[in-house]
Amino acid sequence: MKVLVTGGTGFIGSHLVDRLVEANHNVLVPVRKESNIKWLPSRGVDVKEVDLLDLEAVKGLLKGIDVVFHLASIRGMGWSFENKEVHRVNVGITENLLKVSSTKKVKHYIYVSSVSVYGHSDSGPIDENYPYSPVTRYGKTKYESEMLVEGFYREDRLPITIIRPVITYGPRDTWGMIVKLIRLINSGKYLTVGSGENRVHLVYIDDLIDGLISVLKNPIAIGKTYILAGEIPITINKLVGIIASLLNRNVPSLHIPIWLAGLTGLILERLYRAISIRKEPFITRDKVNIMTRDRSFNIGKAMRELGYTPGVSYEEGLKKTVDWIRCERLI
């Protein structure tokens, strides 16, 4: 099959491209002029410079494409971008790809969304039927994009699947939650906010890619939405303990009150915006929420319908991640 992967030069996308090439699919990866393609395989991939916000360019790009994996977006809080730009990229590209996929009769459009569409809920385990309540710019654009995807399925009968991954970690991630946590612990700057007994639910990159591949042209998945996560959540204290052990570092016993961390994040966010600093603050309210709320997700639907079976433990996944970070001299 001929498969288009947007975001193919990134952390998740490059791993997906690797797996598709290994399965002998013909893979097309659209890139921007400034894209770094160092993680793309040297063979089996057609790299094409194109502006995905240009509808006419997208029409040419999708000629002969069987499957679209759409991962490209401005991730996280996107501090380097204005609100308008985040929306223009995250929603605009999704809409362009949907329009052309429908016209070109693409056999399967797989949209990689995010559990951020649920917002900062402490309820759990959250399943696919949990109500939308996005609070971040990223989450709101993912929600809006999901609405577009579902609309094309209902009205144009475009075969679609929506995937909502949890926070993903592993080799090639250079700025995600786990990488930041590893750097903080390694530098001795990490302090626990709250009790640390709340849980976070993560997925190792290999497990996520297994889930994405299981969806590929799978008739059961058409018109469906799936959460992809690791087998179980983990407490922040246990997560930090594993990382500290791998790094041979001690974590201070001091705990910061949640209210104080949240207030500090609010002040820093407003200060950075007031003086037009486009770098993400050291502390943000979103970071505090991620590290202090208790969240777990139900992957039963993906297990039943897709045969999804995440098998990488936190101990194994974190060791591979730390080893890669050391090899890349990121710490």
Confidence grade of residue 287 (pLDDT, cut at 50, 70, 90): confident
Q: pLDDT grade, residue 280 (50/70/90)? A: confident
Q: Is residue 39 part of a domain?
A: yes
Domain presence at residue 289 = no
pLDDT per residue as tens digits for the range 73-92:
987 555 667 778 889 999 99
pLDDT of residue 132: 94
Whether the per-residue pLDDT at 121 is higher than 80: the answer is: no
In a domain, 246, yes or no: no
Residue 121 structural domain = 2-169+202-231+297-311
pLDDT band at 12 (very low <50, low <70, confident <90, very high): very high
157 assigned to some structural domain: yes
Mean per-residue pLDDT, 7-33: 95
Question: What pLDDT is recorded for position 98?
Answer: 98
Q: Where are the beta strands (DSSP E) in the chain?
A: 2-6, 26-31, 45-49, 67-70, 108-112, 160-165, 167-169, 192-193, 199-200, 202-204, 224-228, 234-235, 255-256
Give tens-digit pLDDT for 176-193: 999 999 999 999 999 999
pLDDT on residue 77:
55
Is 95 within a domain? yes
Highest mean pLDDT among 31-35, 278-282, 303-307: 303-307
Domain annotation covers residue 291: no
What's 219's domain CATH number?
3.40.50.720
**Residue 87 in domain:** yes
Q: What percent of the chain has pLDDT over 70?
A: 98
Mean pLDDT on 267-287? 83
Across 33-42, 43-52, 160-169, which has the greatest mean pLDDT? 160-169
pLDDT confidence of residue 76: 59
Q: Give long-range contacts, CB 8 A cutoff, 24+ apart: 287-292.
A: 288/193, 288/258, 288/261, 288/262, 289/120, 290/167, 290/177, 290/200, 291/193, 291/194, 291/200, 291/236, 292/193, 292/194, 292/198, 292/236, 292/258, 292/261
Please report whether residue 73 resides in a domain. yes
Q: How does residue 229 score in pLDDT terms, banded at 50, 70 and 90?
A: very high
Q: How confident is the model at residue 151 (pLDDT cuts 50, 70, 90)?
A: very high
This model's pTM is above 0.75: yes
How many domains, the chain? Answer: 1
- Cα–Cα–Cα angle for 67, 91, 123, rounded to 5 degrees: 95
